[in-house]
Structure 1
């Protein structure tokens, strides 16, 4: 009788220890969502917009010329693409290159989702043409035909990225 009593005490102690350990390891989110489905951590993540980044290396002595072109001409394309719903936002960043062949300018284009990347080329061309046709200033119109490829070297597209908001 004494042996049986001691065995049940040991078993009870072990069971209690396991229950306490499992209780301590249970995520609080699972307890908070006890009335709903099992916790789906993915639904707590806001899948934000998609970013594509075009990169180039602008010659040091041509950076002002290139920025002037972007400000006076390319900005009209960006506004037209945004108005047409092709992009939702954009950013242009000047960065410090780490090597001789590294880019020093990034053009970042924000899309509402991955499907927006599949817009037909005709929509882009049409929006750009309409935007550039509206430019009346003769000095700015000269910039439209400028050979900006002499000012910069295309270095590629960075990997497409989805913004995640926690």
Structure 2
């Protein structure tokens, strides 16, 4: 697996990966209507090249194919962490999260925060993130549960 910085030409693949992951993976923890409302954000991502470039966005590749991506902003907020539905369980999320947390350490940050989906909650709990609160988030006419979480970074 290789990790690299985001490039503009990645945008269509990342948008598709986002939608497919929500529809195929997150569907196990959300209703079909909730998953579809969330996955509809796929179209919005196609207009967000500046956002991907502004954040520290990493892309994971396996055998030359995009397997996942993640990003973090300058405050340590981990905004996106998505792994292709057919690459789950291969260490992609772990590699991305390790690299994003290390980037935060290099910036001198002492913590990372995330709003984790029900699906991602066990992953982040295993990485020593602590739940600060459960949230109900409105998304295109649906309400999705997620968890505001925080991890103190070791130096």
**If the length of structure 1 is used for normalisation, what is the TM-score?**
0.25
Report which of the two has the higher share of strand: 2
Higher relative contact order structure (alpha carbons within 8 Å, sequence separation ≥ 6) = 1
Larger radius of gyration: 1
Report which of the two has the higher share of helix: 1
